[in-house]
Amino acid sequence: TEEVAEVLDTFHVISELPPDSFGAYIISMATAPSDVLAVELLQRECCIKNPLRVVPLFEKLADLEAAPAAMARLFSIDWYKNKINGRQEVMIGYSDSGKDCGRLSAAWQLYKAQEDLAKVARQFGVKLTMFHGRGGTVGRGGGPTHLTLLSQPPNTINGSLRVTVQGEVIEQSFGEEHLCFRTLKKYTA
């Protein structure tokens, strides 16, 4: 199909460009281990010499609930565990989960998912980096950065954290030099 051709073309382009041209390959609406394994297979079949990190993005309520079991299944595959070399990023989405079940239910499920994902990672000896896909508005997970960081479940940051900065808040966070320093200070304090 046209969609399959587009995906394969994308991977072929990735294989031709320098490895530092890309960051992680994020799988939107991830639901199962097969989502991650399919991307790993595509990278291998398209001869990508330096494969991208593959980051599942769990967004819907059911997917957040299933995320710990999905990651446990992945970590139990020897090939996969060796490939990630003890490090895994997992992205959680705030906007779709909020739309799916309401902000309060979503906030609780996001919290529980992070706790459970961290527990699974510890069980398998994997250093987990939580990647937060927050938007600028409260409905999309936005809010004051320092409060957001303080509200993370215990044992889920462990020295690394990744966040998105949505387009609508880039200007207010990074539009001027003093804002850049203030934002950096909030994230590193």
At residue 27, the pLDDT reads 95
Q: d(Cα 118, Cα 172) in Å, to the nearest integer?
A: 32
147 within 8 A of 187, measured Cβ to Cβ: no
The domain limits of the chain are 2-188
pLDDT string in tens for the chain (189-residue length): 899 899 999 999 999 998 888 989 999 999 999 999 999 999 999 999 899 999 999 999 999 999 999 999 999 999 999 999 999 999 988 776 767 777 778 788 989 999 999 999 999 999 999 887 665 555 555 556 666 676 677 777 777 766 777 667 777 777 888 888 887 887 776
Say what the pTM is.
0.84
At residue 137, the pLDDT reads 56
At residue 123, the pLDDT reads 97
What CATH architecture does domain 2-188 belong to? Alpha-Beta Barrel (3.20)
At residue 94, the pLDDT reads 76
Q: d(Cα 149, Cα 189) in Å, to the nearest integer?
A: 10
